[in-house]
Every structure is written in structure tokens, then in C-alpha cells.
Amino acid sequence: MVYRVIEIATVFMHFGFVLYVVFGGFLAWKWRRTIAIHLAAVAWGAGSLVVGYDCPLTNLENWARRMAGISELPSTGFIAHYITGVFYPVSIEPIVQGLAAAVVVGSWLGYVLLGRHAKAQTGPSSIR
């Protein structure tokens, strides 16, 4: 029972991380200091897709699944098991990855533009 709870909690953490990678840049619009955390999360997420290194959350989930007597995730990992083919067809995976990258880049552009806008408003001309 405990291992199933760990497994389920890990799945939720993993979904949260994936959502943060895609949409976390928008949080930095409000909380500007979080951009460094988002950059690190995107670097990790992109690196795990491109380079293929092991994800500690996948390893934790596999450990909990083994301890609970459940088969491990397939070698293709979390995204292939829970997202690709579930939320969108496998055939459009490159399109979905491109859209996710566009959302990330768009959030970063917004971060930069909002930062410039804020600096322009607080610059010397606005002091009276």
C-alpha cells in the first residue's frame, strides 16, 4: 500500500514537473526571480529528451512499482507511457513537442518584454 502511494505521488509530481516545464515561464511574469528555476527545469526536461539521461522521478516510480509488485514503466519512460498516445496521437508527437517549445519560448519572450516595460515605467522619466 505504501509503495502504491509513493508511485501515485510520483506520477503527480512528474505531471507537475512536465506542466511546469511547459508553462512555468508564465509564473516568472509575476514572480520574476523564478525564471532561473524555470530555465533549469527546461534544460533538464529538454536534455532528458535529447540526451536521454535517466529521470530521478522515473527511477523513483519504477522502484515503487517494483516494491508494489507492479511492472515498471516501459523503457521509453514517463511521457511515452502516460502522455503520448493518451493525450495526443503518437503520430503528432513532433508537432506537440514543437508547440510545447513555442509556449516555453513565448513565455520567455513575455518575461523579457514585461521586464523592459517595468524598467521603462520605473526609469528616470517616471520619477517626479
Instruction: Give residue for cell 524555470.
Output: 38
Indicate the residue type of 45.
Answer: G
pLDDT in tens, the chain (128 residues): 999 999 999 999 999 999 999 999 999 999 999 999 999 999 999 998 889 888 999 999 999 999 999 999 998 889 999 999 999 999 999 999 999 999 999 999 999 999 887 777 776 655 54
CA distance 109 to 103: 10
Residue 91's pLDDT is: 96
Burial of 60 (0-12, 13-18, 19+ CB in 10 A): middle
